[in-house]
Chains A and B, each alone.
Chain A
């Protein structure tokens, strides 16, 4: 059972039997799903000890590391796919992590909430305060989300980092799927990207 819509897309995109590095794997539930459904060889990276134990309990191999500075331990091209789902905005240096991800993995899959969504714009525009919602319940000063970006921001960064976008999927509220496809930066609540280093 996968509740998060971005993970359904990721599940579709991960090829059968490949090697996967899941950055911020949490309790390993999704990585386990990939192992079962896609027969991947999975490795998780997780900083929290309780999460790590839950992932180990599921029979997964997990490295306890901080994604912010722990990605150098993986050699280049070590994995077919490196995943980072809904954690980009929590990283200290998202651009460094992204650049490293497409080196470690032949491909990377990244999902993040889109701060360019009309709700965020309206909230900021009308109230003049940082947006808060059910999906973003924390105040600006105590949120782990320190690097929100928009769909256009992300694509601009990819261009700058010489990262090719192989595929993009958008997640949207009910009845807005078509709008999100046409105007993702305005109507997608979150986006999922399959990326690789340019020229690969």
Chain B
């Protein structure tokens, strides 16, 4: 994919860093005396501050949601599809903020950053953040940016969980809430997949109990395997058949003998795994999957309906028909609870073979619907 420098791109972007020197306590009781969040913004905040949109990233995402960092960057930000001038989240009129979650590995304080007063990375010592902790830390960032209310909080998958948590924890902060391919909590099957991924990482001899960076090692095999399993669950069987079929890789055409025959799908998964294993921090992967497992939108409330009754936002819920990781039924659970709570909600199930990745991939109906719904954001 070539960088999109068309009129619809936010173009070159420079990440910024916000430092916080007041202690930040996490749900598990641990305290970070200081921390930093790396973030990007696109568009301009209006004088009345009514056009700010927060984008929450999913498991492997980062603060780099749109545009490119320099002219040589091969791929634009992870949601360039949706963010930009004239795009569904239109930077011509909205001020878009995306930060790397606390515990992430792209510049926010996390396992790969040094422990305070030392040069040793946190490694496995980094405390376990939860979705509600991320929400509170994003609120600190909002205040740092002079924002007192989000016109919308938007996210897919784990990002959608953050958006929903925002709407419950800080009702007067969230005017619109968009949760794509999301769920009120993981199923046993979801947790099982995460456990396999973690097991792959933890059992890599190079993991070194999580302190691989201090010991100059990198658990690339474990992370690659975790990513291969994860990636597989983000695709649908039909989508994979269409894309790969039983095609062999070009150079492995011989049927006679010694040359190893490699299917396209194998080659693809290996490539995805290898690329991810050097880009993404193993400890962050463990923390993020654990945060997913622990997430329960109704925690602290009698049920999902009472939890969502607190919200004041208008909701958009989109699911993707072939998503079996966060199946359409999970969005329906949220929808029904919102309906029972008397909230305003638009909900649709996009017909696609794109699986859980559907919210990141081009799809005409999806993009049109998101764009039309976003028209109501930032108008007040």
The residues of A with any CB-CB pair to B shorter than 8 Å are: 49-50, 52-53, 56-57, 59-64, 73-75, 78
Contacts and interface: CB of A to CB of B under 8 A. Distances in A.
B233 interface: no
A62 B372 contact: no
B335 A63 contact: yes
Nearest to A56: B372
B339 A78 contact: yes
Contacts of A49: 348, 350-351, 365, 369
B375 interface: yes
Nearest to A52: B348
B77 to A, nearest CB: 26
Interface string B366-378: 0011001101100
A71 B68 CA distance: 46
A16 B376 CA distance: 24
B360 interface: no
A56 B340 contact: no
A172 to B, nearest CB: 38
B188 to A, nearest CB: 24
Interface residues of B, number: 22
19 contacts: A49-B350, A50-B365, A52-B369, A53-B365, A53-B368, A53-B369, A56-B346, A56-B369, A56-B373, A57-B375, A61-B314, A61-B344, A62-B348, A63-B339, A63-B345, A63-B347, A64-B348, A73-B339, A75-B339
A48 B165 CA distance: 30
Nearest to B376: A59
A73 B375 contact: no
Interface of B: 314, 332, 335-336, 339-340, 342, 344-351, 365, 368-369, 372-373, 375-376
Contacts of A60: 346
Given A49-B365, A53-B368, A56-B373, A78 B348 contact: no
A26 to B, nearest CB: 15
Given A56-B372, A60-B346, 16 more contacts: A49-B348, A49-B369, A52-B369, A53-B372, A56-B346, A56-B369, A56-B373, A57-B372, A61-B314, A61-B344, A62-B348, A63-B335, A63-B346, A73-B335, A74-B339, A78-B342
Given A49-B351, A64-B347, A73 B332 contact: yes
A41 B350 CA distance: 25
Contact of A64 (B342, B349, B375): B349
A59 B350 CA distance: 19
Contacts of A53: 365, 368-369, 372
Most chain B beta-carbon neighbours within 10 Å: one of A64, A74, A78: A64
Nearest to A63: B347
A82 to B, nearest CB: 13
A64 B314 CA distance: 16
Contacts of B373: 56
A62 B315 CA distance: 11
A109 B349 CA distance: 28
A57 B351 CA distance: 19
A56 B367 CA distance: 13
A153 to B, nearest CB: 32
Contacts of B345: 61, 63
5 smallest beta-carbon distances between A and B, as pairs: A64-B348, A57-B372, A56-B372, A73-B336, A75-B340
B136 to A, nearest CB: 29
Nearest to B332: A73
A69 B209 CA distance: 52
A60 B350 CA distance: 18
Contacts of B336: 73
A72 to B, nearest CB: 8
A73 B335 CA distance: 8
A49 B332 CA distance: 17
A56 B369 CA distance: 7
A48 to B, nearest CB: 11
A167 B349 CA distance: 37
Contacts of B314: 61
B271 to A, nearest CB: 34
Which one of A56, A62, A63 has the highest number of Cβ atoms from chain B below 10 Å of its Cβ? A56
Contacts of B335: 63, 73
Contacts of A78: 339-340, 342
Nearest to A41: B344
Contacts of B340: 75, 78
A60 B339 CA distance: 15
